[in-house]
Structure 1
Amino acid sequence: MRLSPVVVTHTEEVLREVIRFTGPADVTLSRYFRDHPKLGSRERNAVAEGVYAVLRNKLVYASFAGSGSGSAMRRLTLLGLADAVGAEALGGLSAEEAEWLSRIAHIDRGALPPAMRANLPQWLFDKLKDRDGEEATLQLAEALNRPAPLDLRVNALKAKREDVIAELATAPIQCEPTPYAPLGIRIHKKPALQNLPLFQNGAIEVQDEGSQLLAQIVAAKRGEMVVDFCAGAGGKTLALGAAMRNTGRLYAFDVSEKRLNKLKPRLARSGLSNVHPVVIAHENDAKIKRLSGKIDRVLVDAPCSGLGTLRRNPDMKWRQTPDSLTELTAKQSAILASAARLVKPGGRLVYATCSLLDEENEAIVDSFIQGNEGFTLVPMKDVLAEQKIELEMGDYLKLSPHRHQTDGFFAAVFERNK
């Protein structure tokens, strides 16, 4: 069944706004769909997937869109939609457009220049290539340019993983256990989870396996005082609260009241009562100072470039620049230094990002260790062994989509020894 010709029109219209890169693509799409409530779910899905296909493949598609007649923006739109739903599903194409799409489909992309094949900005491609080599960078880029599967975390307070898998099978939703996270489930299609009783009663939450592993290496225990320093919408907060078996005290700090408000309905579903969301003005807020030296575990999932999440947020690669990276690294160092003051002797501090870049990861850790002799690095291989997670790592957790089928994540664990 062909899609209505209006799908091409709407996709082109919203794509014009998205590729200005003045804000996140998902926010722009959500606003557009609110403004156009008559679009059905099939049409909305096609529009969104078409836009994301363009964002993933922008360099190649912009090159292809330079050929042919008519508007280059319409041709860019058609390439994205053909990628997302298939050219044969598009209604309202002229014979010339259909022939052009068919011709483009037969171009050998392997013959394109490496940076174009990677569909990465030149500065980012060069940075990764200088570190890892061209072949490894192309493998990483290929994985980053594929849509991510949907990962769920089972709320251990409410369900067992095997029971959830069995119940999902009756929906029927095909799924499998994640290979590393003990409470993770991977779904390769994207069903409407919000209609499932499992979701409504808080037995499952959407969370990438890599993010689940970050929460697990914090190793929060019953009765402890724990801080999620940059909690955002609270995915890791919920995982930490469940690991603590709803005991102790878990603070969810964030500078954005709007983000913390998104945690509230998730918190209500989860059954957790040990979580205390706190809006802070900045990393040196007085609310933080009052807890200085009292906390058992602190997680700093720092604001970062987000370049490890390109499978879900492909616009991030076009929105970040070398200058924005410099601003982020200064912020990351300041946040980590402030969070470290909370940790009591014998307590642990976890620094994490969803970035692939050394500047945001190893460089921040090295600088912190040099300036904080009261902390020592705990090798990640030891932390993973404590948690019985079978992953080959050295000093740090370094997850990537082409090796681990997760988003790209980095983490380091420190222990306060005085």
Structure 2
Amino acid sequence: MIQAARYSAAIEILADIETRRRPAADAIKDWGHAHRFAGSKDRAAISGLVYDVLRRKASAAWIMGEDTPRALLLGSLRLVHGLALEAVENLFNGEGHAPQPLSEDERQRYRDTLLAPAPDPIRGDYPQWLEPSFLKVFGTDAAAEGEALAARAPLDLRVNLLKGDRAKALKSLAHLKAEPTPFSSVGLRLPLLPDGRAAALTAETAYVKGLVEVQDEGSQLAALLAHARAGEQVLDLCAGGGGKTLAMAAAMNNKGQIYASDNDGRRLAPIHARLTRANVRNVQVRAPRGRIAPLDDLKGRCDLVFVDAPCTGTGTWRRNPDAKWRIRPGALEERIKQQDETLATAAAYVKPGGRIIYATCSVLAEENEGRIVDFLREHEDYTARPVDDMVREAELPALAPFASALGPGLRLTPRTSGTDGFYVVELTKRG
């Protein structure tokens, strides 16, 4: 497919997303099935165009003065791809499968509209209703933090210490230009390819044999800050696909026991194959029966309960850009309720002297510091551990500057740390 035809395809997919209000991944997949002539490189390029639009949807609409699929793509071509007006006019020529030529108004707006006068939610590309939350957390940096959340994310990997060390993984992936991550001692970062895509790993020996796992550095740091020790009894209460379960199992060198559970048994489905590939032997998967996980035998017995809490996912917008436009205020309220319930549940499993690690991939104070303040008010036998103590014990002193100014815990964002947005706090129970 010529580039102009890819633009037309992206416009078609964006229209499908808007009309049917469906996830971008589903619309892209269906378009591919209906257009078998498009090769893998074409589909990847079109997918990249669509996701770039969704990352910069608000600012693209501001540039072009409307939010039609065509206008959004045009705005994205200027903001993300930096195409000159002449190049766009050559591609939008109406010939064959190319989009129709630009109108005079489109030419003028593409050439002259400035983004600088736009309000913070427009420049930062986040929903208007979240402006008070962003201002509370980021203040005058709200637009800049939002812009960082709208950028493309690199591909981060975690080295599985049960299979080898970082030096071995770096050597295996040298052809992909792998480099150590800035903070995680077990992390690698792969740069994006020239076309903006992440490198394919499915045929890489290091990945196939379990030496590396895909995991954002922020998620790796959350697991490292848990400081799970060999011989401990650990409950991963919201284990999902098992990324942090595997990370803690490696940190424990397969010694002790991790119980991986989740209220949604479907989310646990991938964990079994991942455990086998990673050579993890100290994990019991406790799938729910109905909606109840069989965990009664663990009450008051756990050294560590890891709570990867259900959240809005605002910290992962680099990887899931369409999610930020589908989230509604009611979803935040529901997540806050779930977070309070999950924390209260976690407390029942902690033994005297044990601890809870509460983590979210959210940047919102309502889901982070706000939940911990309320929890500590209701649970006087718990205290929040100072960040300096957390990072020293986890041998991650470089994280000390990321202590939250809004309350207990540690905050990471793409702008400040280069990771996804994460919040991590340690709660200790009196002995």
Question: What is the TM-score with the length of structure 2 in the denominator?
Answer: 0.87
Deviates more, 1:196-205 or 1:368-377: 368-377
Where do residues 171-190 of structure 1 align in structure 2 (5 Å cutoff)?
172-189=175-192, 190=198
Aligned in 2, Cα 1:148/1:101: closer, same or farther, shift over 3 Å? farther
Structure 1: gaps spanning 5 or more residues: none
Match of 1:233 in 2: 241
Q: Could you tell me whether the CA contact under 8 Å between 1:118 and 1:138 is conserved in 2?
A: yes
Structure 1 residue 94: Cα displacement = 5.5
- What is the aligned-residue identity percentage? 38
* RMSD of aligned alpha carbons: 2.6
Structure 1 residue 10: Cα displacement = 3.1
Residue 110 of structure 1 pairs with residue 116 of structure 2: yes
Q: Distance in 1 between matches of 2:296 and 2:154?
A: 40
Q: Distance in 2 between matches of 1:247 and 1:374?
A: 29
Q: Could you tell me whether the CA contact under 8 Å between 1:150 and 1:208 is conserved in 2?
A: yes
Amino acid at match of 2:70: R
Match of 2:49 in 1: 50
SS of match in other structure, 1:217: helix
Deviates more, 1:95-104 or 1:152-161: 95-104
Deviates more, 1:56-65 or 1:335-344: 56-65
Where do residues 107-186 of structure 1 align in structure 2 (5 Å cutoff)?
107-134=113-140, 136-169=141-174, 172-186=175-189
Q: Could you tell me whether the CA contact under 8 Å between 2:120 and 2:142 is conserved in 1?
A: no
Q: Distance in 2 between matches of 1:42 and 1:274?
A: 41
Q: Distance in 2 between matches of 1:36 and 1:294?
A: 56
Aligned in 2, Cα 1:330/1:151: closer, same or farther, shift over 3 Å? same
Structure 1 residue 404: Cα displacement = 0.4
Match of 2:270 in 1: 262
Q: Could you tell me whether the CA contact under 8 Å between 2:149 and 2:414 is conserved in 1?
A: yes
Question: Alpha-carbon deviations, 1:2-61, whole Å to 9, x = none?
Answer: 4361x3343233222334685543354345545655432211112211111111111222
Structure 1 residue 213: Cα displacement = 0.5
Q: Distance in 2 between matches of 1:282 and 1:213?
A: 33
Q: Could you tell me whether the CA contact under 8 Å between 2:317 and 2:324 is conserved in 1?
A: yes
Structure 1 residue 63: Cα displacement = 3.6
Amino acid at match of 2:158: R
Q: Distance in 2 between matches of 1:273 and 1:101?
A: 61
Amino acid at match of 1:119: D
Q: Could you tell me whether the CA contact under 8 Å between 1:209 and 1:406 is conserved in 2?
A: yes
Report how many residues are paired. 410
Q: Could you tell me whether the CA contact under 8 Å between 1:153 and 1:185 is conserved in 2?
A: yes
Amino acid at match of 1:214: A
Q: Could you tell me whether the CA contact under 8 Å between 1:153 and 1:205 is conserved in 2?
A: yes
Structure 1 residue 200: Cα displacement = 0.4
Q: Could you tell me whether the CA contact under 8 Å between 2:218 and 2:412 is conserved in 1?
A: yes
Structure 2: gaps spanning 5 or more residues: 193-197
Deviates more, 1:261-270 or 1:383-392: 261-270
Residue 203 of structure 1 pairs with residue 214 of structure 2: no
Q: Distance in 2 between matches of 1:375 and 1:246?
A: 29
Q: Distance in 1 between matches of 2:20 and 2:132?
A: 22
Q: Distance in 1 between matches of 2:108 and 2:282?
A: 57
Match of 2:70 in 1: 74
Aligned in 2, Cα 1:371/1:154: closer, same or farther, shift over 3 Å? same
Match of 1:408 in 2: 421
Structure 1 residue 352: Cα displacement = 0.9
Q: Could you tell me whether the CA contact under 8 Å between 1:52 and 1:80 is conserved in 2?
A: no
Aligned in 2, Cα 1:334/1:15: closer, same or farther, shift over 3 Å? same
SS of match in other structure, 1:110: coil
Q: Could you tell me whether the CA contact under 8 Å between 1:50 and 1:83 is conserved in 2?
A: no
Aligned in 2, Cα 1:129/1:98: closer, same or farther, shift over 3 Å? same
Match of 1:302 in 2: 309
Q: Could you tell me whether the CA contact under 8 Å between 1:51 and 1:81 is conserved in 2?
A: no
Q: Could you tell me whether the CA contact under 8 Å between 1:60 and 1:119 is conserved in 2?
A: yes
Q: Could you tell me whether the CA contact under 8 Å between 2:215 and 2:243 is conserved in 1?
A: yes
Structure 1 residue 167: Cα displacement = 2.0
Structure 1 residue 204: Cα displacement = 0.5
Structure 1 residue 78: Cα displacement = 4.5
Aligned in 2, Cα 1:373/1:121: closer, same or farther, shift over 3 Å? same
Aligned in 2, Cα 1:34/1:156: closer, same or farther, shift over 3 Å? farther
